[in-house]
């Protein structure tokens, strides 16, 4: 009994530490005080209107979303193909590639960012004779390198759970390798692919170090350095308080993520129930 009380107490303390700051931020998104804790003119929705009128925040938000979606799509493609290729490789090759894949996962992000900077500067100076390569493309490469290993780790368990003979059976039935991959393998690993895609988006949205080191001009920022939400907040903190418009933006992002999680959970529960009921029906037919 005591162990159970301690376990639940620990769990609730962790949840409080995680969610109370978010709830405080959401609460003060309805008050226009300069600092959190100040009520300003009282309860109001004005900050939500100011949010969509702030050009710099909208540009940063647009850049963040564009980079996140594109890098997540590329990372999902590379990570999925890599996981499938490694799964059907020889044991020694599989061990080497999996070890290499672990390096970006456990490595410090600052090391990865500095390595990318050195590489881009070297290529620009040696191959392109002093050209400045930093742009949207260098930023995209950095985000893909950050996210692809995590996509691989999400897809790999689904491949392990899958019957390894499905692909060979499809080939024996006359499918081409590409058709066997589409018809037999991909349907089995779609949940892992989707999870990897969502994780890649989250990593990109949340990233600051690689973004700060590898960004250049482009996207909605035009000729200036690409601003994302993380770099914009960091720049504002240097000069003074965080813009009050960031509070409603944070609230909107939290609500969207919460709804997405609820929708995914409901979908998975319904899928699990359908699979259980279909399995029971097959068992009854056999019986």
**What pTM was computed for the model?**
0.82
Question: pLDDT tens across 233-248, in order?
Answer: 888 888 777 788 888 8
pLDDT of 23: 87
| Rounded alpha-carbon distances, angstroms, from residue 43 to 12, 35, 52 | 30, 15, 19
- Give the count of domains, the chain: 1
pLDDT of 145: 92
With respect to residue 281, please indicate whether it lies within any of the assigned structural domains.
no
CB 30 within 8 A of CB 21: no
Longest dimension (CA), the chain: 75
Residue 217 φ/ψ, nearest 5 degrees? -80, 155
Question: pLDDT tens across 37-63, in order?
Answer: 788 788 888 888 888 888 888 999 999
**Shortest CA distance to 150 belongs to which of 73, 224, 110, 203?**
203
Write the CATH number for 220: 1.10.3720.10
pLDDT band at residue 281 using 50, 70 and 90 as cut-offs: low
* Residue 240 C-alpha from the chain's centroid: 29
Q: What average pLDDT does the chain have?
A: 84
With respect to residue 33, please indicate whether it lies within any of the assigned structural domains.
no
The residue-averaged pLDDT of 98-119 equals 87
With respect to residue 213, please indicate whether it lies within any of the assigned structural domains.
yes
The residue-averaged pLDDT of 246-261 equals 86
For residue 213, what are the domain limits?
Answer: 59-242
Rounded distance, CA 26 to CA 5, Å? Answer: 30
pLDDT band at residue 286 using 50, 70 and 90 as cut-offs: low
pLDDT of 282: 56
Q: In this predicted structure, which of 63-67, 117-121, 138-142, 278-282 has the lowest mean pLDDT? A: 278-282
With respect to residue 206, please indicate whether it lies within any of the assigned structural domains.
yes
With respect to residue 134, please indicate whether it lies within any of the assigned structural domains.
yes
pLDDT band at residue 217 using 50, 70 and 90 as cut-offs: confident
| Rounded alpha-carbon distances, angstroms, from residue 88 to 43, 148, 180 | 60, 19, 13
With respect to residue 149, please indicate whether it lies within any of the assigned structural domains.
yes
The residue-averaged pLDDT of 140-155 equals 92
Neighbours of 95 (CB within 10 A): 12
With respect to residue 28, please indicate whether it lies within any of the assigned structural domains.
no
């Amino acid at each position: 009994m005591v162990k159970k009380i301690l376990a639940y107490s620990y769990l609730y303390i962790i949840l409080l530490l995680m969610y109370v700051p978010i709830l405080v931020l959401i609460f003060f998104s309805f008050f226009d005080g300069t600092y959190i804790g100040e009520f300003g003119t009282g309860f109001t929705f004005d900050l939500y209107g100011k949010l969509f009128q702030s050009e710099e925040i909208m540009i940063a938000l647009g850049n963040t979303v564009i980079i996140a979606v594109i890098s997540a799509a590329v990372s999902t493609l590379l990570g999925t193909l890599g996981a499938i290729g490694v799964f059907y490789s020889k044991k020694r090759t599989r061990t080497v590639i999996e070890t290499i894949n672990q390096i970006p996962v456990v490595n410090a992000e600052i090391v990865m960012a500095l390595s990318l900077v050195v590489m881009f500067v070297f290529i620009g100076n040696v191959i392109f004779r002093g050209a400045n390569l930093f742009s949207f493309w260098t930023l995209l490469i950095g985000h893909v390198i950050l996210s692809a290993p995590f996509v691989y780790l999400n897809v790999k368990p689904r491949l392990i759970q899958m019957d390894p003979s499905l692909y060979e059976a499809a080939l024996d039935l006359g499918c081409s390798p590409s058709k066997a991959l589409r018809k037999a393998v991909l349907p089995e690993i779609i949940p892992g692919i989707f999870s990897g895609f969502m994780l890649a988006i989250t990593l990109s949205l949340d990233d600051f170090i690689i973004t700060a080191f590898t960004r250049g001009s482009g996207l909605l920022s035009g000729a200036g350095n690409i601003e994302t939400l993380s770099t914009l907040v960091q720049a504002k903190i240097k000069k003074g308080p965080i813009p009050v418009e960031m509070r409603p933006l944070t609230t909107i992002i939290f609500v969207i993520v919460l709804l997405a999680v609820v929708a995914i959970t409901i979908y998975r529960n319904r899928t699990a129930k359908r699979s259980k009921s279909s399995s029971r029906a097959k068992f009854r037919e056999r019986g």
